[in-house]
Structure 1
Amino acid sequence: LSAPTNMKVVQVFNVAPASESHELPSQTSLPLTFFDILWLRLPPVERIFFYEFPHPTPLFFDTLLPKLKHSLSLALGYFFPLAGHLTWPFHSDKPIINYNTRDSVSLTVAESDADFNHLAASDLIEAKEIHHLIPHLTISHEQATILALQLTLFPNRGFSIGITSHHAVLDGKTSTSFIKSWAYLCRESSSSLPPELCPFYEREEVVKDANHLGAKYCSDWLKQGGPNNRSLVVWDMQVPEDSTRGLFKLSRWDLEKLKQYVLSKNKGNTNLRLSTFVLCVAYVSVCRVRAEETKNKSFVLALNVDCRGRLEPLTPANYFGNFVGARLATVETKKLLAEDGILVAVEALSDALETLKDGALTGAENWSSLLLEGFNADARIIGVAGSPKFEVYGNDFGWGRPKKVEMASIDRTGAFCLSDCRSGDGVEIGFVSNKEVMEAFASLFVNGLQS
């Protein structure tokens, strides 16, 4: 067990957007699209970036902190809606993001006596050990802040950046683009972003809602605890006791071995997708089902699919907001537990992703119902969050790449989180369960690759 942690809050800053190159609007509002509304009351997404900084404390407060604050203000000048609030006024049929010139983002600066090397290592750790590094959004029934940040110094060792973002405003692509932009402006001591990092705000042009999905999702949320429940309070999902976090790595060589194994077991299925994503999710799913000794009849993987580039008109990669669809890969648990479980998982994932050919929004009319009502069947449902394409380990603020990046919020949802690796070789997978399951998973994960 780690020693109890003492943390002191040094100061809380309110950082407002600023720009040296363009004029900021005095006020603006962005209506949520159906892609956003789907996530309205889901818990915020929490990420923590750990950076080594083996230098005296004054250097952090005199040099790093002013630079991080200044570049944050400039980054918010491009991503100004993040300083605003989410509201759902009675006169509006859908929730909206409101931004005014006086708005700002909360930046907490703290010091912790926790063991930095322990928290930033890739060993199993208790989930609650990193909770003090996470900032919180201010959410009431009437309005919600969108972004909160926390810088925590571990004297003479390193620091962490905790970022909490509202899921109804930002998907993983947009939230990681914001961090990438902040890191760029800080590292380059620049006041302007390259075009590919500048967010694209024109929603009406690219999000076509011919099937009135926004109205359907709003109606479903209004009925939750309703009628006409416009509350913005998010679901209170608790972190189970004895929750343990783990990060596991699949190198390119590991992925190539898995690919050859699947090909050797395949009996003529020509529709197999053997992408890094499919191989990775298939392997960790089989390890998890075995480690958890899952008793449910079926196992369901809820996949997030980036719809940028999949719909007409084509959406720019730098679109601001949620643009994620869903696909479900369902398989009988007993088949995953069988000897060729990895092939079975690859087939299920391939079949689910194959339906994207019918259109990324196929089945979208059911997404809110599935989210709110779940499955009637006897199923174990696991989400898959994150993506190696977000390149979270590329976020260098000028003092080196992160030593470790955690998606803290998966301890509430039970999802897998995928990311790139610090070394650039392969994929990192994070997930949280009880200690016994995590130890069994770690053993299965390593032994499976060796065999």
Structure 2
Amino acid sequence: MALNVIENVRVRPATKSSDDSVDSFSLPLNFFELRWIKFHPNQRVIFYRHTESSSETFHSHILPKLKLSLSHVLRYYLPLAGLLTWDPKDPKPSIIVSKNDTVSLTVAETDADFSFLTSNGLRPATLFHPLVPELEISDDSATLLSVQITLFPNQGFCIGIASHHSVNDGTTSAMFIKSWSHICRLQENSNAMEFPLLPEDLTPTFDRTVINIPSGLESKMIDFLSSRSKDSDNLKTLKPPPLDEISSDVVRVTLELTSENIEKLRERVRNELARSPLELHLSAFVIAYAYSWTCVVKARGGNPNRPVRFIYTADFRARLDPPFPATYFGSCVLPSGWFQYEAGTFLKEGGFVKAVEILSDSVKRLGSQGIESFFEDYVQRGKNIIPDAQAGSVAGSTRLAINRTDFGWGRPVKTEFVSIDRNEAFSMLERRDDSGGVEIGVCLKKGEMNTFLSLFKDGLSD
């Protein structure tokens, strides 16, 4: 696969009028955002099929619209063009927004097979990395957003996005992408002299006075992160720990659980678990994650006494008192779980039902547990982590409708979370055909993947 970079440009937030200007301001990170300051960037790539996208059409029609709408949407999402900075004299990092801020945009062309990359079958994970950009991260500063648009001549194009997790949880990232696509579609029929407007449900809220978190939790979060840092000489660095190279043996696959599959799995839980179904939280997320995780543990096999752990990310927007606004800009999520067990718990018959029970109890507990109690539990679990345990996690959500983001050339034919290939993580999205169910992305080494696929398929036919 050859990739040719056409240009690297900086996109500046647009001005709404001739007398409009961006005033410099600082946005302090909240308790939730501090958790993610050293987390590796989220990377996703969204594919759009457009068989009439010759190089000439792309550069004269499609690309200018994407660039202009990106500039417009950044005016609403100014912090994404800013910098996350951590002055050694300050107790915590802040986002600094200045009038000359820009976002990096890379434009490229590739000879790769668009249909192969957007298929559901086995594909080398390394093929997707050239399609997503990097963030610029140093000890004391980090960019928050970077974009790459790649043309597959006469096949389509893709939009690769790298975002900093500190202010880009799933909800904020989805809002930004939907806002960008909304403005891009408006350009077809709007007056060029009018600044595009966003609907209320896509207009971000930056008000940090809505945050009602017990005093002292922020410093406790920073202390917790410092205790886990491997760089004891520079505890205030924003650099994430180094990552290993992705093995050429790691492959990516997309699977689907239809609404019928999920209901069948729910019924299995109801029949096999002694507890009343009314005590359980049997959402599509719980069912899909428990089923996928159990198959991954079984695919690894091995010693039933070996340690395993799995987590998920919980959104606290609606769980706080008062709740955060639905359009709150930033991150309002924390890892939940760190459930540590022996592999045999999931290898044996009934392992799937046990995983459902664990996840269900955890999700239900979120509704009644205060944030202070949750954090204390989280820290305690973190202290007891076994380093070499098989670990699972989830990116994405079935509620964010990313697969419906139409920039004016139709809905995406594929969305991939590139960054899940760092470990045994899953991605979850709503199915693209709007029929319900879940689309699941998985990355594993090829040998384990073949076993996993067999287990996944056979388990649905039982």
TM-score range, shorter chain: over 0.9
Distance 2:33 2:301 in 1: 35
Q: Which residue of structure 1 lines up, in the alignment, with residue 440 of structure 2?
A: 429
Shift of 1:26: 1.7
Contact 1:45/1:409 (8 A) holds in 2: yes
Q: Which residue of 1 aligns with 2:193?
A: none
CA 1:302–1:24: 2 relative to 1, 3 Å = farther
**Is residue 254–residue 441 contact of structure 2 (8 Å, CA) maintained in 1?**
yes
Q: What is aligned with 1:315?
A: 324
Distance in 1 between residues matched to 2:263 and 2:110, nearest whole Å: 41
Asked whether the 8 Å contact 1:237–1:413 carries over to 2, the reply is no
User: Does 2:198 correspond to 1:193?
Assistant: yes
Matches within 5 A, 1:394-433: 394-425=404-435, 426-433=437-444
Report the AA paired with residue 420 of structure 2: I
What is the SS of the residue equivalent to 1:381?
A: strand
Question: Is 1:214 aligned to residue 218 of structure 2?
Answer: yes
Give the number of aligned pairs.
445
TM-score normalised over the length of structure 2: 0.92
Displacement, 1:303?
A: 1.5
Cα distance, 1:158 vs. partner? 0.8
1:29 and 2:26 correspond: yes
Q: 1:374 to 1:186 in 2, by over 3 A?
A: farther
Name the CA distance, whole Å, in 1 between partners of 2:82 and 2:379: 26
Q: Deviations over 1:76-129 (max 9, x none)?
A: 010010001111012321101001110100110000011111111111111101
Sort the Cα spacing of 1:335 and 1:234 in 2 relative to 1 into closer, same or farther, 3 A.
closer
SS of corresponding position for 2:46: strand
Cα distance in structure 1, aligned partners of 2:418 and 2:175: 18
Q: Structure 1 residue aligned with 2:350, among 340, 344, 361?
A: 340
- Which whole-Å CA distance do the structure 2 matches of 1:442 and 1:291 have between them? 9
Partner of 1:262 in structure 2?
269
- Matches of 2:282 and 2:179 in 1, distance apart? 32
Q: Deviation per CA, 1:281-327: give whole Å up to 9, x if none.
A: 11111111111115354432211111011101111111111101332
Q: 2: CA distance between counterparts of 1:253 and 1:170?
A: 33
Q: Verify the 8 A CA contact 1:245 1:432 in the aligned structure 2.
A: yes
The amino acid across from 2:322 in the alignment is: P
1:76 match: secondary structure: helix
CA contact (8 A) 2:296 2:452 kept: yes
Q: Which residue does 2:244 correspond to in 1? A: 238
Aligned pair partner of 2:280 in 272, 276, 281: 272
- How high is the sequence identity, in percent, across the aligned residues? 39
The 5 Å alignment of 1:334-373 reads 334-361=344-371, 362-365=373-376, 367=378
Q: Check conservation: 1:213, 1:365, Cα contact below 8 A.
A: no
How far the C-alpha of 1:18 sits from its partner, in A, is 1.2
CA 294–402 in structure 1, closer or farther in 2 if over 3 Å, else same:
farther
Decide whether the 8 Å contact of 2:308 with 2:342 is kept in 1: yes
CA distance in 2, matches of 1:249, 1:63: 35
| CA distance 1:179–1:143, shift in 2 (3 Å) | same
What secondary structure does 1:65 align onto?
Answer: helix
Contact 1:239 1:411 in 2 (8 A): no
Inter-partner Cα distance in structure 2 for 1:10 and 1:414 = 34
Stretches of structure 2 lacking an aligned partner (at least 5 in a row):
191-195
Which residue identity lines up with residue 364 of structure 1 in the other structure? F
In the alignment, the residues of structure 2 paired with residue 320 and residue 429 of structure 1 have an alpha-carbon distance, to the nearest angstrom, of: 27
- Secondary structure of 2:47's partner? strand
* Farther-moved stretch of structure 1 (151-160 vs 164-173): 164-173
- Cα distance in structure 2, aligned partners of 1:390 and 1:81: 21
| Structure 1 residues 243-291: Cα deviation after superposition (integer angstroms, max 9, x where no partner) | 1111111011111111112112122344222111111111111111111
Local SS of the residue matching 1:353: helix
User: Is residue 296 of structure 2 the alignment partner of residue 288 of structure 1?
Assistant: yes
- 35, 51, 57: which one pairs with 1:54? 51
Matched, 1:8 2:18: no
Mark the runs of 5 or more structure 1 residues left unpaired by the alignment. Answer: none
Rounded to whole Å, the distance in 2 between the matches of 1:233 and 1:113 is 34
| 1:301 paired to 2:305 | no
- In the alignment, is residue 448 of structure 1 matched against residue 452 of structure 2? no
- Counterpart of 2:104, as a letter, is S
1:363 is paired with a residue whose SS is: helix
Per-residue CA deviations over 1:175-211 (Å, capped at 9, x if unaligned) read 11101100111012261100110111011x2222314
Which residue identity lines up with residue 42 of structure 2 in the other structure?
Answer: V
Deviates more, 1:295-304 or 1:52-61: 295-304
Find the aligned partners of 1:266 and 1:207 in 2 and give their Cα distance: 40
User: What CA RMSD, in Å, does the superposition of the two structures yield over aligned residues?
Assistant: 1.9
> Matched residue of 1:409: which SS?
helix
Alpha-carbon deviations, 1:144-193, whole Å to 9, x = none?
Answer: 11100000001110111000001122111111110110011101226110
Q: How many Å apart are 1:25 and its aligned residue?
A: 3.2
